[in-house]
Amino acid sequence: MTAVVPDGVVGDPRYADMIVETPSEFRVSTRAYTDPAVFADEMRRVFESTWIYVAHESEVAQAGDYKTVNIGQQPAILTRSQDGKLNVLMNACRHRGSVICREERGNSNSFRCPYHGWVYENTGRLIGIALRNGYPADFGADIEGLHKAPRVANYRGLIFASLNPDVPEIEEHLGWVRKYVDLWIDMSPGQMGRVLRPHRYGYHGNWKFQAENGFDGYHFRFLHESNNKTLDHFGVRPMQVTNNYLVAGRTRAGDNGHGVLEIGELEGMQPAVFDQYKASLAEAYGAERAKAIATRRHIFLFPNVYLMDMNVRVIQPLAVDRTEVYSHYFSLDGVPPIVNEQRLRDLEQRLGTTGLIGPDDVETFGSGQSGMRVTTLKWVNQARGLDRQTVLPNGELEGHYTDELPQRSLYREWIRRMSIAPGGAA
């Protein structure tokens, strides 16, 4: 058995044997889901050392717009200042540490700390110390303002931040998955798209249950059987169309922990509306690219976001066994309103809080955490399709729809980062 520890790095011995990969098996230690010490290291070595998705540009479109976010567990405020610039300010007052902004979103050029009233501009600059005359004359000269995330990137409207100044450029971080991200953004012909305010759900389980699930084609026939039978029964989608996913769909993986589940043609629109939509794509991009764009994908950008056909799903770890997820409807620009109306209805019906599919998944994440209370269960398996993946000319891996190919990619990146001594990973 060989532990996956990258060459040339100082391996942390506590993690060296948590993933086991051989030609015939791929196992993950259950401690990855249950051990609070592992969770604490994940926050440092994964969430604070790489790029984290924080928002879509449409959420902070106007000067003064802001949104509170988290990078791992560190609170921050994404702002757009008067100069049009995006700022990621750490949400901790320079006086005694209180969170200065408690709202989820809004528009303001400044923030006043609720505790003792210090005021900061939305660039982070400290502009007012309340009751200033109680301090020595030169007090505060060295306090510039709020701390900032050292790196912020905007990739075609997707905003990422990093607490690690040494991360590579965002294009390099996306790497092989970038072409799928481009296809996703191009669903809005020539424009950027918008996300709406999210619905959120929490579950009593580890964050990686959600990360593993979004590109898992294996469970669909089983966990979502009631959905599939209901749609078949009412003639909405015959069972053979559902079964077709299993033949035509693909899993895709590559470096950096990203992964893709490719499902088939976009759904959720009536045939006439879909034809109209496809025609507008073809006009903007040509027939071949239009076909590639009009494909349903769940694109995971390691470690915290899924770009799905209808929505953006952001994963927020809270504790080793508690996670919150924000699901934003992704509204297309440059398309007839009926396209968005039908897509939104479809999202509600499938993944909304009372949808036929989403609640099945959320329930199973808690169920996974409960199962792992069995102390004799030391390992879980991610080996499906290990012997039948294809390496494409560009190095990308392609697998059967039901294979655990992207999950393995996720865990290879996870163990790579967890094994590297702090400060050594970018």
Whichever of 118 and 401 has its CB closer to ligand FES, that residue is 118
Cα–Cα distances in angstroms (integers) from residue 37 to residues 15, 137, 320, 359, 381, in the given order: 11, 45, 9, 29, 22
CA dist., res. 398 & res. 419, Å (int): 26
Asked if residue 116 binds ligand FES (CB under 6 A), the reply is yes
Q: Helices (DSSP H) in 186-302: which residue ranges? A: 207-213, 220-223, 225-233, 239-248, 271-285, 287-293
Written as one letter, the residue type at 179 is K
* E strand residue ranges, 6-129: 19-22, 25-29, 52-56, 65-71, 74-80, 86-90, 105-107, 110-112, 119-121, 126-128
State the minimum distance, in angstroms, from the CB of residue 358 to Fe ion. Answer: 8
Asked if residue 109 binds ligand FES (CB under 6 A), the reply is no
Residues 62-101 that bind ligand FES (CB under 6 A): 93, 95-96, 98
State the minimum distance, in angstroms, from the CB of residue 364 to Fe ion. Answer: 8
Question: ∠ CA 246-364-174 to the nearest 5 degrees?
Answer: 65
Whichever of 5 and 76 has its CB closer to ligand FES, that residue is 76
Question: Is the distance from CB of 308 to CB of 183 less than 8 angstroms?
Answer: no
Whichever of 139 and 423 has its CB closer to ligand FES, that residue is 139
State the minimum distance, in angstroms, from the CB of residue 48 to ligand FES. Answer: 23
Give which of Fe ion, ligand FES, none residue 148 binds (C-beta under 5 to 8 Å, depending on kind): none
Asked if residue 361 binds Fe ion (CB under 5 A), the reply is yes
Give which of Fe ion, ligand FES, none residue 179 binds (C-beta under 5 to 8 Å, depending on kind): none
Cα atoms found within 13 Å of the Cα of residue 397, Cβ hemisphere only: 24
CA dist., res. 144 & res. 139, Å (int): 12
State the minimum distance, in angstroms, from the CB of residue 216 to Fe ion. Answer: 7
Chain-centre distance of CA 386, in angstroms? 25
Give which of ligand FES, Fe ion, none residue 361 binds (C-beta under 5 to 8 Å, depending on kind): Fe ion
Give which of Fe ion, ligand FES, none residue 93 binds (C-beta under 5 to 8 Å, depending on kind): ligand FES
Asked if residue 113 binds ligand FES (CB under 6 A), the reply is yes
Binding site for ligand FES (CB under 6 A): 93, 95-96, 98, 113, 115-118
Chain positions contacting Fe ion, by CB under 5 A: 361
